[in-house]
Every structure is written in structure tokens, then in C-alpha cells.
Chain A
Amino acid sequence: MDRIWVLAEQRDGEPSTVALELLAAARSFAGTVGAVTWGSGAAEAAATLGEHGATKVYDAGDVGDSLPGPRVAAAIAALIEAEGAPDALLVGQTYDGRDVAGRLSARLDRPVLTNIVGLSAEDGALVSEHAIFGGTQVLKARFTGESPGIFLIRAKSFAAEPAGGGAPEVASIELPDTGATDGAKVKGRHEEERSGPQLDEAAVVVSGGRGLGSAEHYALVEELAGLLHGAPGASRAIVDAGWVPYSHQVGQTGKTVKPTVYIACGISGATQHMVGMKGAKNIIAINKDESAPIFTIADLGVVGDVHTVLPKLIEAIKAHQ
């Protein structure tokens, strides 16, 4: 493959982790790796993108109060018009990444492969890997139509690693006016207070599920996560029930986590949850039901009531510290 482009989200000059992961993948398949970025700080992000393997950075500039989806997709479409289509476009499956990929797909009339967890090259084209049925099976797929293939890739599918690349060539690209599709405007940005690390970056994740019994008992999960300098997570069941916000959800429809240790509290282990956490180095599960599927993948399984085990565990760790 000659050219692969990566959609590189950045914030204040710092590329997102998934962008760096995708660059590591891209440079293993193609000699020319382009990174499409935008927003204030994009110029500062270029150096880091170069270190991670981008040979050329396309800076679309500040999107202002627009949502990135329509205009960044239009910018990529214009770039393809000008320079020809790359063999593949790799996009991280983030909130904005999905918007850009979806918009671009419809604009170019090209399909998107989604929820990719691995890539390989076969006969000069990229083959995507997808974890299906809770990660019990791996499905491989490829595009059969015209390039570019749009690949939406889940975070943590590759390891980000600097490649020792030099300063990339930086080209400014235009951010086209897309009219009505750009009608939605951001009026305010709110950061939620978080005392610990981000869920998908944390070395320790403590998650709660339906077995906690009620929303109030989620405080035990938060306390344990805090003591271990980790992040609290959740199963889909308790997010659907409104106990905790969607941002806490681990699994197929939520975040993929690969911490040093994952502690599942009152989580039975639905396939849709396990696909998001079975990549953890160590898994500890506490559940009343000894036949819960979570025990089939746990390194340490405790058959017991979270309401008695968790308070004792919290006290023991406090004493330990």
C-alpha cells in the first residue's frame, strides 16, 4: 500500500491516544502516512504526529463552534479530490471520529467497516478484524469497492509508540462551508469533575453492575476505585437503568479498557460487557452467582455478596495503606 491517512484528533496541541495508536498501525502498512487534524493547537500537534510516523500533516484549522463532523468530512473529501484517494482512511471510534467517518461515507458513497480491533495486509489491501459475540469469535473482512476504505477502529487495538520520525511536512487544507449540515453549534463546553484517571487510560478499573442492587451502592465502587487510584466503570445494565452516566460504560456499546487489573463487582458478564474488558491483564470478579459467565475469564473469582465483600475490601486496603 502506498498511502494511508489517519484522522488525528488533538486537543491543545496534544494528539489523542487513539490517533497515535492508529499512526503506529498505519506506518506498518504504508510508506506515506498522512494525518488529518484540526482545531486550535493543530500546528503544535504536528511534531508529535511526525514522531509517531506521520510523514505529512494536513491541518484543516479551527472549526470554531461547529461540530467537527460535517466540515472535517468535507475537507477530507476535497483533499481526495485534489490528491487522489489514499488506500485507506483510519479513524478512531470516538464521538467525533464516528461523525466524521459517517459524514464522509455518505458524501463519497463509500461503506465503513466499524468496531475494528486489528488489521492485517493481504494481497496489497487491508483486512480488518472484528471481535464478535462477546469476543468469542474473530471475523475478518475487507472492502470490495473503490478506495478509500474507511476503517473505524476501537481504541486500544494497537500500541502507540514513537517511530523516531522527523518533522512532518505540514499542509494547510481548507475547511469548506457545508451549509445546512453545519447548522448545529456548540454554545458551551462543560468539563465533568474527575478526581482520578480517565476510564480508558486507568491502570485500575473497578466496575459495578446490577448485582449492586441499587444506585446508592455504586458509591462502594467509586470508593474502591479511588483508593486504588483507578477509574470507576459500569455495565450497560446500570447505565440503562440510569444509575450512572453513559460515560462510565464499559463494553461493546461503551469504552474498551485494558487496565493492569479490572475488578468486576456484581457484574454477571454479558457478552456485550466482556468484549470491552477481556483485554485486561488481570481480572478479579465478585459475584453471588457461581455460574456467572464472568467467572470463565476471571483470574480470581470470588463467589460472594458484593455488599459484604466490598466494604471489607475497602477497610482492608485502607489499613494496608
Chain B
Amino acid sequence: MNVAVCVKQIPDPAGELALDPSTHTLVREGKLILDDSDSYGVEMALQLVEAAGGGEVTLVSMAPNNETSGLRTALAMGAAKAVLISDEALAGSDALGTAKVLAAAVSRIQPDLVLAATESTDGYTGTTPVQLAELLGWPAVTFAKKVEVSPDSVTVQRQTEAGYDEVVSPLPAVVTVTAGVVEPRYPSFKGIMAARSKPVEELTVADLGLEASAVGAAGARQEVISVQAAEERKAGEIVTDEGDAHQRIVAYLEQIKVL
């Protein structure tokens, strides 16, 4: 069982985030980290490969500036290798442009299964994995809260509004996993050392046989018109609990007729 995991390297969400004033895209200078949302897919892939008794986990990522620090984190968790598509032409790519790049990369790797997060933490469009599946001509099962594999199929508990559906798909397929689906392991010291020498294949848009006009800002066919400060919600009354704050809450709930 060979599993490819789509991972994204993003600016630290705990840091200061900003938009480039001219392109209105997220500023991605400096160190990028592995999106926390992706650690679940990496962990799930490692567990599925182990359960299948063989195979390996390959990371697939796209980044504007040959950034690999986030990939090293996932390699340290146990992924065998990575494919990084890095090209100036990719700046400003939207979800569909990203899916085109990932589809070309996945076609080279030919995995049995592709895992991805339901959405990234920075862009959070949540459409890339399904666009990827359509471009590959594969089935997709999104919002998985449990995943099991057999040699030729994957069984997923898929989140629904009412509960969950049990969905079975033939392989190859794309599956997106929700956070909390498994507990991601922390990279061990040995894992971190080993990750330094694991192969990261760097490819350009041309290497994948894609036209530069199909990806990046040129391919996105959308534009930001304006960015303005939102109407602010004002802070109300702040009280410090001295043993009676619950009474203040009860009074508030009475006032708004909830009680």
C-alpha cells in the first residue's frame, strides 16, 4: 500500500499574518511550518501502510520558494520521501491551479491512495482535494473520521449533518481526513536525524508538463477588489469572579430572556 499525502507548508498561524498590499495574497516570507491539519493525514498514512504490511508514504507539496522545513517535520514523523513542486510561476495559485499541479505530481507517483486534510489552515478553501480527484478521474471521500484499507478498497466513516455514512471506495481514491481522526506522533530524535537525509525531489511546472498560464495568478481568473476593516464588535462588561460571577451570568440570561 503506497500512500501519497498532500501537505502544505504555511506561515505560522500563531504569528502575525498579512496580505501583500499589491497582490492581496498571503505574505509567505520567512520560515514556513507544516500545517497542523496535515499532521493527521501523515499519521493516518503511516498507520495505514503499517496495517497493510508494506509500502511507503510519499509527501506531495507545493511551495513558492523551495521551502522544505515543513516537509522535514513530516519526514521526521516517518514519511519515506517527498515531492516538492516549487516554481515562481506558482505564486498566486488558487485551489484549482493547486489541484492541477498536485494531479500532475500524483500521476508520477502513482499511489494507491491519496490523503489530504479537509482544508488548509491558511487558505481553507477545502476544495483542492475534490478538484484533484476529478482531474485524476478518481473517486473521493471527504470528511473522514475513520479510515480502514484493504488491498483494493478503502472504508471510511464520512461526517454528515446527521451523523456519519459508511462509505466504501475502490482504490485508487482521494480521502480527506478531519482533525482528531488519529493522534499524530511527535517526531523522535532518531526520526529528525533520519529526515535530514530523506529524498526531496524538487520539480518545476515545466517538469510536470503544465503550462505556466494554467497555474499561478494567471490561471486563477479571480481578483481581489478591496480589503477593509470589518465593523468591530465592542467589548462589554468584564467582571472578575469573586465567587458570585455565576449570579451575574444568570442575571444577564434573564435580561436577554433566555431564562
Contact = CB atoms under 8 A, between A and B. Distances in A.
A82 interface: no
B126 to A, nearest CB: 5
Contacts of B24: 139
Contact of B145 (A189, A245, A290, A302): A245
B130 to A, nearest CB: 3
A198 B226 CA distance: 35
Interface in B94-149: 94-96, 99, 118-119, 121, 124-135, 137-143, 145
B241 A142 contact: no
Given A127-B225, A284-B252, A106 B135 contact: yes
Q: Which size class do A's interface residues fall under?
A: 35 or more
Residues of B contacting A: mostly: mixed
A186 B235 contact: no
A135 B141 contact: no
Interface stretch (B73-81, B191-199, B204-212, B243-251): B243-251
A141 B83 CA distance: 32
A137 B225 contact: no
A230 to B, nearest CB: 9
Interface stretch (A23-31, A49-57, A112-120, A159-167): A112-120
A64 interface: no
A309 B225 contact: no
A67 B141 contact: yes
B103 to A, nearest CB: 9
B241 A305 contact: yes
Q: Which size class do B's interface residues fall under?
A: 35 or more
A78 interface: no
B179 A246 contact: yes
A14 interface: no
B230 A297 contact: no
B180 A240 contact: yes
B165 interface: yes
Contacts of B36: 240
A184 B168 contact: yes
Given A183-B170, A303-B241, A136 B224 contact: no
Interface string A214-253: 0000000000000010000000100111100111000011
A247 B236 contact: no
Interface string A129-159: 0011101111111111100000010000000
B228 interface: yes
A312 to B, nearest CB: 4
B159 A105 contact: no
Given A133-B17, A278-B233, A112 B249 contact: no
Given A67-B167, A300-B248, A316-B250, A135 B131 contact: no
B20 interface: no
Interface stretch (B1-9, B53-61, B64-72, B215-223): B215-223
Contacts of A240: 36, 179-180
A6 B56 CA distance: 43
Contacts of B169: 183-185
B30 interface: no
Contacts of A3: none
A160 B188 CA distance: 52
Contacts of A110: 96, 221
A181 B164 contact: no
Contacts of A301: 235-239
Nearest to B24: A139
A313 B250 contact: yes
Interface in A38-82: 67, 69-70, 73
Instruction: List 5 tightest A-B contacts by C-beta distance, closest first.
Output: A304-B241, A102-B130, A145-B221, A184-B169, A106-B134
Given A139-B19, A189-B160, A246-B143, 8 more contacts: A93-B126, A105-B95, A111-B221, A144-B221, A181-B140, A185-B169, A253-B118, A297-B234
Interface of B: 13, 17, 19, 24, 36-37, 94-96, 99, 118-119, 121, 124-135, 137-143, 145, 156-170, 173, 178-180, 183, 220-230, 232-241, 243, 245-250, 252-253, 256, 258-259
